Amino acid sequence: MRRFVVSVLSAAAFAVSVSALPPAASASEGAHLEKQKWSWSGLFGSYDQAALKRGFQVYNEVCANCHSLKLVAYRNLAEIGFGEDEIKAIAGVKELEDGPNDQGEMFTRFAKASDHFVPPFKNDQAARVANGGALPPDLSLITKARLNGPDYVYNLLLGYKDTPPADVTLMPGMSYNAVFPGSQIGMPPQIFDGLVTYADGTKATPEQITKDVVTFLNWAAEPELNARHGMGAKTLIFLLVLTALFYALKRQIWSDVH
């Protein structure tokens, strides 16, 4: 018995010491991330359709000037509530290179619903030249590729400071961002009050714009989340009902014995 008590106590002490350890180094080198309440987090969370549409607007009007989103096709926008004609209109203004044709020539054409999002630059070199040497990463999986992705991207976009601390000398073309590892980033500040005019009349504050675009980017990385969470909820309800049935059955079967 004493042995048992000792081992339980030491297990408890171990658990406490482990939980007191600092968390593993984060992508942002420990910069404090202000946690947001995301509608899709938790067991039963789901995407807010209106936020997804607004977030697409921000991506399309702002981020798409520098960042590609190669894993998403225009027709996928139907999942966040865009109609067929709207999707055709969104794709139809983007040009891409296709071919070769019968003559063996490459040609340019306008994008169709079945095409993937057209990247803003022909290749990585062209993207770097236009961005002072820095490469804007593809954003399809960015919320998965960074630790605490949604909170990280949210804080990053709002993490710019006009004047860096006195001991920091900015390299040419860089901006000071307290959240980016190393604090110097090749992406200029993007989020401003009234940056976009939302079709649904929502007020475009910096926080609102950022929350919406992060919601959209998380959908891009995890489009099946709503279906998965829905299935989880149904499964739980099913199991609860099954448990109740089995319990009732057990009571009936054993009623003679008791």
- The footprint of ligand HEC (CB under 6 A) covers 58, 62-63, 65-67, 131, 134-137, 142, 146, 153, 156-157, 185-188, 190, 213
Residue 87 or 185: the one with the smaller Cβ distance to ligand HEC is: 185
Are 184 and 170 in contact, with CB atoms under 8 Å apart? yes
Residue 142 or 221: the one with the smaller Cβ distance to ligand HEC is: 142
Least Cβ distance, residue 131 to ligand HEC (angstroms): 4
Residue 49 or 131: the one with the smaller Cβ distance to ligand HEC is: 131
Least Cβ distance, residue 188 to ligand HEC (angstroms): 6
Query: Under DSSP, is residue 36 helix (H, G, I), strand (E, B) or coil?
Result: coil
Residue by residue, DSSP assigns 146-215 as: STTHHHHHHHHHT-B-SS--TT--PPTT-EEBSSSTTSEESSPP---TTSS--TT-----HHHHHHHHHH
Closest CA to 110 of 127, 88, 131, 128: 88
**Any idea of the CA torsion for 232, 233, 239, 240, to the nearest 10 degrees?**
150
Least Cβ distance, residue 114 to ligand HEC (angstroms): 25
211 Rama sector, left if φ>0, alpha if ψ -120 to 50, beta otherwise: alpha
Least Cβ distance, residue 17 to ligand HEC (angstroms): 32
Residue 40 or 180: the one with the smaller Cβ distance to ligand HEC is: 180
Residue 183 or 229: the one with the smaller Cβ distance to ligand HEC is: 183
Least Cβ distance, residue 70 to ligand HEC (angstroms): 15
